[in-house]
Structure 1
Amino acid sequence: MWYRRDRVVRELLKFGAVGGVGFIADIGLFNLLLFAGGEGPLHDQPLVAKTLSVTLATIITYVGHRAWTFRHRTRIKHSRGYPLFFLFNGLGLGIALSCLGISRYVLDLSGPIADNISANVVGLALGTLFRYWSYRTWVFPANPSGPVPPPPAAREAEPVNA
């Protein structure tokens, strides 16, 4: 029981660290596209800016999660894992875009603070909860026989007990 809880805690910390890097890329590009120099190149297209910034963050986090966060879980083929990862990130993006769209177009709130709170606080929090659950469930499923063994090169370096 302790082992399982410790593993989940370590996994959550790694998920947060990788997500933090993706978050920096996401909000950095989002704000650059909307507000660089007062009015960025996409200042009147916040949904397009958010889509582009989340796409960059998705690529970064896929690499980080596959190589580090979930490396102990079952490895599914890239041909299945990558599309699933993008699908669930697309749904997470939909959550963030919904929050941003409601803020901008229903509540008529705009500007750096309103856009960032709706897209990068509320939308990101809800999207992150969804992503963590979906990654663990479908993209990086549990290995029923235990942790994934190390790659062959690492096994060759292990000492053999005689």
Structure 2
Amino acid sequence: MSGGRGVRASGAKYVVVGLVATAVSLLVFNALVHGPWGLDVLNDSPSKAVVIANCVGMLVSFPATRLWVFDAQPGRSVLGQLIAFLVVNFATMLIPVACLQVTREWFHLHDPVSDNIAANVVGLALGNAARYVAYRRWLFSDLTPAARVRRHRARWRLWTQTRSVTQGSATGRSTAHPDAAPARVPVEG
């Protein structure tokens, strides 16, 4: 998938998968923290409930993200992708946990609406954005690690060349390399 159309298509699919996983996470979180009939077993530990709810959501999102959103590349290790998926998800899970902690500890808001806005609206939106970038860039990229290094080097060369040309036209010399010959500036006469 390359180009704007591929990004839009995978982005739209990612939103659908995210909505399903979010619905699962919301149900689990609210049952654990604000559950009816005395089921609010983690009311005093909402951060633990966020972690548990997100783990359940991950069970839903991994296969759908791998197979449908990013069309898993043949020959890629499922176990390797799963491990990387878990690392990305646990790292980005800190975002909604931090939002929830700020709401509870700094603003002293402990009601269901505040908890859900902090963890499941603001935190989830920020976490999902971070996950999408990580998935697209590293986890489900169709590039091998060596190809990513080559692409990065090519982009770096292009950036430094563009920079030296734009700076060179302003100063009359190139800054690409100390041994480089001065850039030729046309003389108007």
Say yes or no: TM over 0.5: yes
Instruction: Note if contact 1:74-1:143 (Cα within 8 Å) is conserved in structure 2.
Output: no
Amino acid at match of 1:58: M
Q: Give RMSD over aligned pairs.
A: 1.9
Paired residue secondary structure (1:115): helix
Any unmatched runs of 5+ in structure 1?
146-162
User: Shift of the alpha carbon at 1:139?
Assistant: 1.1
Does residue 53 (structure 1) correspond to residue 42 (structure 2)? The answer is no
Name whichever of 114-123 and 63-72 sits farther off: 63-72
The one-letter amino acid of 2:137's match is: T
CA distance in 1, matches of 2:121, 2:75: 31
Report if aligned partners of 2:66, 2:72 keep a CA contact under 8 Å in 1.
Answer: no
Aligned counterpart, 2:9:
10
Q: Which residue of 1 aligns with 2:138?
A: 138
CA distance in 2, matches of 1:22, 1:75: 27
1:81 paired residue number: 81
Greater RCO, CA 8 A, separation 6+: 1
Q: Does the aligned pair in 2 maintain the 1:74–1:140 contact within 8 Å?
A: no
Shift of 1:97: 0.3
Larger Rg belongs to = 2
Contact 2:14 2:69 (C-alpha < 8 Å) held by counterparts: yes
With the length of structure 2 as denominator, give the TM-score of the two structures: 0.70
Q: Which moved more, 1:76-85 or 1:9-18?
A: 76-85
- The aligned counterpart of 1:103 is 103
Question: Which stretches of structure 1, 4 residues or longer, exceed 2 Å deviation after superposition?
Answer: 72-76, 142-145
Structure 2 unaligned residues grouped into runs of 5+: 148-189
- Structure 1 length-normalised TM: 0.82
Name the counterpart of 1:113: 113
Question: Following the alignment from structure 2 to structure 1, what is the Cα–Cα distance between the partners of residues 75 and 120?
Answer: 30
- Within the alignment, does 1:62 sit opposite 2:66 as a pair? no
Q: Deviations over 1:3-44 (max 9, x none)?
A: 721111111110001111100001110001111116512111
Counterparts of residues 31-46 of structure 1 (less than 5 Å): 31-37=30-36, 39=38, 40-46=40-46
Alignment identity in percent?
A: 29
- How many residues are aligned here? 143
